[in-house]
């Protein structure tokens, strides 16, 4: 098994249906690998823009909601970019030589920190959208999140 993030695994348990950054939110394979493999494989095939488009359709975003939706989509893209940078940095570090157990723990911490910060931003932007939705659409969103979490992303 790889010691660091050579084969990234999703750590999106709390992200629900937004899949915050599609395949990008990852954790080192040394920690919790088996909990997220199937979800990772499912999400890996989607790009962030594909995930955003899918969610737009699933959540039935109306023209009046587009401004709030754009904030959600922008947050997802920013989170994806942040995670891609961490992945690239980690790959470069691994290519330089030996990775220690302490290095693995620091890598895990940095991915989790990015995950939490991304979640905070996503909760804020999605919360604004969700709060403005009519009750029927909120039920659709609740269902989308619930079904997504059944796919193995719950911790």
Domain extent listing, the chain:
9-140
Q: Which of 14-18, 61-65, 91-95 is least confident?
A: 14-18
**How far apart, in Å, are the Cα atoms of 28 and each of 8, 64, 81?**
6, 40, 18
State the pTM of this model: 0.71
Q: What is the pLDDT of residues 37-67, one digit of tens each?
A: 334 344 556 899 999 999 999 999 999 999 9
- pLDDT reading at 30 higher than 60: no
10 forms bridges with which residues in the sheet?
26
CA pseudo-torsion sign 51, 55, 57, 62: negative
CA pseudo-torsion sign 120, 19, 115, 151: positive
- pLDDT reading at 146 higher than 70: yes
- pLDDT reading at 80 higher than 90: yes
Structure-model confidence comparison of residues 73 and 2, the more confident one? 73
Tell me the C-alpha distance between 29 and 65, whole Å.
38
* Helix residue ranges, H only, the chain: 33-44, 48-58, 66-95, 101-132, 135-148
Q: pLDDT class for 127, splitting at 50, 70, 90?
A: very high
Instruction: Look at residue 151 in the predicted model and tell me its pLDDT.
Output: 60
């Amino acid at each position: 098994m790889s010691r660091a993030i050579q084969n990234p695994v999703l750590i999106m348990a709390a992200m629900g249906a937004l899949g915050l950054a599609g395949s990008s939110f990852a954790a080192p394979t040394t920690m919790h690998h088996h909990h997220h493999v199937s979800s990772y494989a499912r999400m890996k095939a989607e790009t962030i823009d594909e995930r955003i488009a899918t969610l737009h359709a699933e959540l039935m975003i109306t023209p009046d909601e587009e401004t709030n939706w754009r904030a959600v989509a922008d947050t997802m893209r920013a989170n994806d970019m942040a995670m891609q940078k961490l992945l690239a940095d980690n790959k470069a570090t691994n290519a330089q030589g030996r990775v220690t157990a302490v290095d693995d723990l620091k890598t895990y911490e940095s991915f989790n920190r990015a995950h939490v910060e991304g979640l905070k931003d996503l909760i804020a932007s999605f919360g604004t959208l969700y709060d403005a939705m009519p009750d029927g659409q909120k039920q659709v969103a609740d269902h989308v999140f619930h079904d997504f979490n059944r796919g193995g992303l719950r911790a």
